[in-house]
């Protein structure tokens, strides 16, 4: 699987995997920013991808930023479709109570390549019964004494 990368700015950093068995590659901030407490911001990376048809790049948070600083990707996972050729931007949110400084070149998110399957949709009048039925949020646990157990 090959992803072609175009640098849109001289300071842009080509993504790379940090270890041999890493599932995600790092995405870097093109510029410096201050992400205020509770704020969300679209951060440019300065790169564009050409991904093979049938694949997507999922943009996910970096666990260290989330744990240490409360910084996450808001629309996680974000999807970069194989036919998108624009700049990769990362929608970050600061869940902490303190402002967070992003420096140019900082690793702000990770990308994971994933196979895409497109479904065929068939309109029907009736759906087959299932054990869960129409139970929604929190309904798949075992109900015990009025509480759901997971």
- The per-residue pLDDT for range 33-69, each reduced to its tens digit, is 999 999 999 999 999 999 999 999 999 999 999 999 9
Q: Do residues 85 and 41 touch, judged by C-beta distance below 8 A?
A: no
Position 128 in a domain? no
For residue 148, what pLDDT is reported? 52
For residue 149, what pLDDT is reported? 52
Which CATH number belongs to the domain containing residue 17 in this structure? 2.70.40.10
Position 41 in a domain? yes
From the CA atom positions of the chain, what is the Rg in Å? 20
**pLDDT, mean of residues 92-113:** 98
Position 143 in a domain? no
Residue 117, token pair as written in the block: 């399957």
* Res 21 pLDDT > 70: yes
Angle at 92 between CA 86 and CA 95, to 5 degrees: 170
Helix residue ranges, H only, 58-146: 63-69
For residue 110, what pLDDT is reported? 98
Position 149 in a domain? no
pLDDT in tens, 114-143: 999 999 999 999 999 988 788 777 767 665
Position 150 in a domain? no
pLDDT in tens, 30-40: 999 999 999 99
Position 24 in a domain? yes
Position 122 in a domain? no
* Res 146 pLDDT > 60: no
**pLDDT, mean of residues 90-107:** 98
Position 75 in a domain? yes
Domain range for 12 is: 3-117
**Mean per-residue pLDDT of the chain:** 93
Domains contained in the chain, number: 1
Nearest residue to 88 (alpha-carbon basis) of 51, 53, 116: 51
* Res 17 pLDDT > 80: yes
């Amino acid at each position: 699987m090959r992803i072609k990368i175009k640098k849109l700015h001289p300071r842009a950093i080509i993504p790379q995997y940090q270890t041999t068995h890493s599932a995600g590659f790092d995405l870097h901030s093109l510029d410096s920013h201050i992400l205020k407490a509770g704020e969300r911001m679209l951060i440019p990376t300065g790169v564009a991808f050409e991904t093979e048809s049938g694949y997507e790049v999922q943009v996910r948070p970096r666990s260290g930023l989330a744990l240490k600083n409360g910084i996450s990707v808001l629309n996680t996972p974000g999807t970069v479709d194989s036919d998108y050729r624009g700049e990769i931007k990362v929608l970050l949110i600061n869940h902490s109570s303190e402002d967070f400084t992003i420096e140019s070149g900082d690793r702000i998110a990770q990308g994971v390549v994933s196979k895409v399957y497109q479904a065929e949709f068939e309109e029907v009048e009736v759906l087959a019964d299932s054990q869960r039925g129409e139970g929604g949020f929190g309904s798949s646990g075992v109900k015990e004494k009025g509480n759901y157990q997971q």
